[in-house]
Amino acid sequence: MDLDDIQELVRLIRQKYVDYFVTAAGELARNSQGSHATEIKFSNVDSFYRNFIAVDFVSNDGQPNPQFINSDSYVKFSPDIHAAMGGMDVLISPFRWDEIHFKFPINELDGDLFDEWFRGWFDIDGERETSETVGNVIHSA
């Protein structure tokens, strides 16, 4: 499997989750009495990288009510996918989009590079903020 195949697989898995997320957020919005928004970032949250987390949906009916939207569906494929990308051995197994795990030897991790990756994909500085339901950011690490 080459990089294009892997990117297409990830795109298909992501789209399935995005469709679910948009539907669930719409239902939560319809049932909300006050204001609401999706993908709201919180800081100072223990046990997450740099203490940041993005909550899927927050309604405010006088008091903020943060909620996570989690899909129970897995996109199934068999066998597991093995590939090499950028000097890394990659293994992709069936997973839920909202529960992806990256594993690598911590002693080989370039902390500055990981921090740069996190800052970009979490969008700490809000450079890619949008009014769309799906903001194209990771929610935690």
pLDDT tens digits along 42-55: 998 888 889 999 99
Predicted pLDDT of residue 16 = 85
pLDDT tens digits along 58-80: 999 888 899 999 887 777 777 88
Predicted pLDDT of residue 66 = 93
Residues of the chain with pLDDT under 50: none
How much is the pTM?
0.79
Q: Is the dihedral of CA 45, 50, 56, 60 positive or negative?
A: positive
Residue 141 burial class via C-beta count within 10 angstroms: exposed 0-12, middle 13-18, buried 19 and up: middle
Predicted pLDDT of residue 57 = 95
Predicted pLDDT of residue 92 = 82
Q: How far apart are CA 14 and CA 116, in angstroms?
A: 23
The answer to whether 105 touches 88, Cβ cutoff 8 Å, is no
Predicted pLDDT of residue 23 = 95
Six token digits for residue 13:
């898995």
